[in-house]
Chain A
Amino acid sequence: MESSSRVGKLGFRRAQTVRTHPASARSRVLLENSSSTRDSDPNYESRESLNSSNFVGTCPDMCPAKERIQRERLRDLAVFERVNGNPGKTSPSLAVKKFCRTLSSNEVHSSDLRPTLVLQNTLKYLLSLMDSSEHPFEVVHDFVFDRTRSIRQDLSMQNIINEEAIEMYEEMVKFHIISHQRLARHRSGPEDSSSLHYLNMEQLTKCLLSLYEVYDINRRLQFINKHEMEFHSFYILLHIGYKIPIMKESLSLWFRHLSSPILHSKEMRFARTLLRYFRMGDYKRFFGILETEASQLQLCLIEPFLNEARVQAISCINHSGYKLQPYPLEHLSEVLMIKEQELESLCCKCGLEVITDELGCKLLPVKQSSFHHPKSDIESYGLTSSDKFHSSLPRPDSSSNLQVNSSHGGTALF
């Protein structure tokens, strides 16, 4: 247990006791600044002694004063950090600590690290920026992406693994999922947005894996977090997308070490079933189950992968259909939960021709040999519910009530 009564510049009182579990002294959390995990770390023994000597941060502001002054001097300030747009002037209420890749443990001082309460408030502030419409989304994302990574670094170096840490990791996962959805909607060719999207998926995965470690440590001491089931399901759903190298183990191996209550939860069953349909190529039931069983966050996560599922379906129908009976687009768009015009556009991107019959209905002739996978990344099309009026499901990106609540009342999402 630690406590202190120092009052920082922003008026945050650090009188809060940070609850650390007895196991924390000897627990390992993935260190942000190293690419190797503890498993393959040759300096295993020394890493252990670092963690057990528990750094306790004393920095009262979102950014350590030393860094703030240095970056002012170097004019290295993001747009959000500038006072009145001045690239050489910032303030304690605007500057946020940057992620530092090359940090080694001997260079770090307690005054550089932010304690739990400061981290919570920093995160709250960063997530509030997601609502800002002043700047293009990519700019906001980039800033929040980097600064939340620094938050994770601070959490890791201080070995903070309590409920507050869990809440923060969960909020950061949510941030990555929403960015995942939004970045995919805007992507259409330019290299930048594609790599932003990929890098975001990478950090989403890293953040999830760190979160699972903290869940595990807490569970050893009999605390099961109420969001664990849903957050575990995200890892399965990520496998519908392309495989990222950081997912070292196959999913089968990951399952072996999960506890039963998690494996059998509703959220996990849904994710496993969805993955099964995807791998089988069963497009009908894939979209069917999405409509009825996915949670909002799960939908956000899956959305950028939907077009891949649709392209597979189109490929399948084109291959197996009857040459003399072109497939009606209206029906297919209902099955694939996409707007008819978007479907037509998708078919074109696959090199397929769409024809119109005498009644004005669009049809997809099958057995076209010109089919190919879309040549560049396409923007994602969301889920369109299959009622007669083809109205879209409420799109979650406009509101972003991402809040970090210090209480355990759960966090409001949308």
Chain B
Amino acid sequence: MAYVSMGEAHRRITDFLGRFSDSIASQDGAALRSLLAVSSNSSLLLSLADALNIFQDWARLVKQADRNSQQLGEILVPHLRCIQSFRIGRFVEAYVAFEKSANAFLQEFRNWETAWAVEAVYMVAHEIRVLAELADKELSSMGKNPEKLQGAGSFLMKVFGSLAGKGPKRVGALYVTCQLFKVYFKLGTVHLCRSVIRSIETAKIFDFEEFPSSDKATYMYYTGRLEVYNENFVAADQKLTYALMHCNSRYEANLRMILKYLIPVKLSIGILPKMTLLEKYNLIEYTNVVKALKSGDLRLLRRALQEHEDQFLRTGVYLVLEKLELQVYQRLVKKIHMIQKQKDPSKAHQIKLDLIVKALKWLQVDMDVDEVECIMAILIYKNLMKGYFAHKSKVVVLSKQDPFPKLKGKPVSS
């Protein structure tokens, strides 16, 4: 904490108060926004925090300012308290104060007719989430129930409500939606996304194309992820690809996040990424999965899933990757078929189940004839193979035409 004289502290505080009321009077959204960025630790706010700590009677200054110009006390007093608490790392206090300030701010915002303050609203929406996350961490570390993020979610719904109208303010709704997504995903209450999605996608007041491009990309990223969790791969592919296309290629971290979900989706519809892509974005956890699909190596797939199990479970793609096993079996049988074709093309389409058992054993996968027969039956049932299996003769007979249909952008049939 830097040393600040009383006079200097007084000056900084009145300066800030002046800037605040000026930005509102002149409808300067960008200026107001910077005054609300608590967690950014900007030099302005850091120096203000130091001043607040020295000049303890700052609330009086706010009251004085109020008498002279607009009634901003309801917003400013808790906001300054937040800045002060944040500086000394008391995040629960900071959040509680910010929530109070934000509510007062929202009241005012509702009265302003044009959309000049939307930028500032973005900042409020962003900050309330960030502060809530920090507050919850603090609560958890004290053994208490972390409930601030939930509260932030409720507030954001209110903000959404204030933007969901016919006027120019509605352009901000998608940004707030994305903040809500982040909250719900973090809390694990993802089903709550449904109502906002419905509002965005079906309400007549919204035209999706009107929203800022970056918001659209973020929106598609989250809704794409939802499709992945619900295993709607075609929809997931569309949405995540949109996000990829509209994401600024400078932000490699964002591209990586999108690819993390897009790759399992593509694999599920039979499209394999190049190894160079995986290397470029450091998605090496998928390397062996892709190799296994290319070579029909069941053991490798299993090993890959085991090695990165925790990561895949946290991301939520584990169940998707598990399903790839059938495609790996298909590849293995295809390889056996190719080898047989070279030896004796006329008999190649008949494969003894015992041979498949042997091939699997060579891959250190222990399966008996019944288990292999079952897999063959499934592959045929799901149209990954064309033909039939003969139980008595213990053989699988493949169709001579296109025995291994490709997925062609559609997932394996259920």
Chain A residues within CB distance 8 Å of chain B? 22-23, 26-28, 38-40, 42, 44, 48, 217, 220-221, 248-257, 260, 263, 276, 279-285, 288, 315-317, 319-325, 327-328, 331, 335
Q: Is B18 an interface residue (CB 8 A)?
A: no
Whether A256 contacts B374 by the Cβ 8 Å rule is no
Whether A280 contacts B313 by the Cβ 8 Å rule is no
CA distance A254 to B229 in the complex (A): 10
Question: Can you name the residue of chain A whose Cβ is closest to the Cβ of B376?
Answer: A320
Contact A322-B374, Cβ < 8 Å, known A220-B140, A249-B191? no
Contact A27-B150, Cβ < 8 Å, known A316-B378, A322-B390, A325-B393? no
Q: Is B7 an interface residue (CB 8 A)?
A: no
Contact with A along B223-259 (1 / 0, CB 8 A): 0000011110000000000000000000000000000
Question: Can you name the residue of chain B whose Cβ is closest to the Cβ of A21?
Answer: B143
Whether B229 contacts A252 by the Cβ 8 Å rule is yes
Q: Which of A220, A283, A315, A316 contacts B143 (CB 8 A)?
A: A220
Q: Is B370 an interface residue (CB 8 A)?
A: yes
Closest chain-B Cβ to A219's Cβ sits at a distance in Å of: 11
Chain A residues within an 8 Å CB radius of B143:
22-23, 220-221
CA distance A250 to B320 in the complex (A): 12
Whether A253 contacts B188 by the Cβ 8 Å rule is yes
Chain B residues within an 8 Å CB radius of A221:
143
28 contacts between A and B (CB under 8 A): A26-B144, A26-B147, A28-B145, A39-B150, A39-B189, A44-B151, A48-B147, A220-B143, A248-B191, A249-B190, A249-B229, A252-B316, A252-B318, A253-B316, A255-B313, A255-B319, A256-B188, A263-B313, A279-B323, A282-B371, A282-B378, A316-B381, A317-B377, A319-B377, A320-B388, A321-B391, A325-B390, A325-B392
Chain B residues within an 8 Å CB radius of A281:
378, 381-382
Contact A250-B145, Cβ < 8 Å, known A322-B389, A322-B397? no
Closest chain-B Cβ to A207's Cβ sits at a distance in Å of: 20
Q: Which of A252, A257, A280, A321 contacts B389 (CB 8 A)?
A: A321
Closest chain-B Cβ to A43's Cβ sits at a distance in Å of: 10
Whether B188 contacts A285 by the Cβ 8 Å rule is no
Q: Which of A40, A251, A260, A285 contacts B371 (CB 8 A)?
A: A285
In the A-B complex, the 4 residue pairs with the closest CB atoms: A284-B374, A320-B380, A322-B390, A248-B191
Q: Is B213 an interface residue (CB 8 A)?
A: no
Whether A328 contacts B382 by the Cβ 8 Å rule is no
Question: Can you name the residue of chain A whose Cβ is closest to the Cβ of B377?
Answer: A320
Whether A282 contacts B374 by the Cβ 8 Å rule is yes
Chain B residues within CB distance 8 Å of chain A? 140, 143-145, 147, 150-151, 154, 187-192, 228-231, 310, 313-320, 322-323, 325-326, 370-371, 373-378, 380-382, 388-393, 397
Whether B229 contacts A253 by the Cβ 8 Å rule is yes
Closest chain-B Cβ to A325's Cβ sits at a distance in Å of: 5
Closest chain-A Cβ to B32's Cβ sits at a distance in Å of: 28
CA distance A112 to B145 in the complex (A): 28
Chain A residues within an 8 Å CB radius of B390:
321-322, 324-325
CA distance A335 to B317 in the complex (A): 31
Question: Can you name the residue of chain B whose Cβ is closest to the Cβ of A39?
Answer: B189
Closest chain-B Cβ to A137's Cβ sits at a distance in Å of: 35
Whether A321 contacts B377 by the Cβ 8 Å rule is yes
Whether A282 contacts B391 by the Cβ 8 Å rule is no
Whether A285 contacts B230 by the Cβ 8 Å rule is no
Question: Can you name the residue of chain B whose Cβ is closest to the Cβ of A51?
Answer: B145
Chain B residues within an 8 Å CB radius of A335:
370, 374
Whether B371 contacts A284 by the Cβ 8 Å rule is yes
Whether A27 contacts B192 by the Cβ 8 Å rule is no
CA distance A132 to B302 in the complex (A): 49
Chain A residues within an 8 Å CB radius of B325:
280
Q: Which of B322, B374, B389 contacts A276 (CB 8 A)?
A: B322
Question: Can you name the residue of chain B whose Cβ is closest to the Cβ of A26?
Answer: B145
Q: Which of B151, B374, B377, B380 contacts A285 (CB 8 A)?
A: B374
Contact A44-B323, Cβ < 8 Å, known A28-B145, A316-B381? no
Chain B residues within an 8 Å CB radius of A263:
310, 313
CA distance A23 to B139 in the complex (A): 11
Chain B residues within an 8 Å CB radius of A251:
319
CA distance A325 to B322 in the complex (A): 33
Closest chain-A Cβ to B387's Cβ sits at a distance in Å of: 8
Whether B389 contacts A27 by the Cβ 8 Å rule is no
CA distance A255 to B229 in the complex (A): 11
Whether A40 contacts B192 by the Cβ 8 Å rule is yes
Q: Which of B150, B228, B318, B371 contacts A255 (CB 8 A)?
A: B318
CA distance A381 to B183 in the complex (A): 45
Whether B326 contacts A280 by the Cβ 8 Å rule is yes
Chain A residues within an 8 Å CB radius of B371:
282, 284-285, 288
Chain B residues within an 8 Å CB radius of A42:
154
Chain A residues within an 8 Å CB radius of B378:
280-282, 316, 320
Question: Can you name the residue of chain B whose Cβ is closest to the Cβ of A331?
Answer: B391
Closest chain-B Cβ to A359's Cβ sits at a distance in Å of: 14
CA distance A26 to B190 in the complex (A): 23
Interface contacts beyond A256-B315, A257-B188, A321-B388: sample of 9 additional A-B pairs, CB < 8 Å, sorted by A: A23-B145, A26-B144, A39-B192, A248-B191, A252-B316, A252-B320, A253-B229, A319-B381, A325-B393
Q: Which of B140, B230, B381, B393 contacts A320 (CB 8 A)?
A: B381
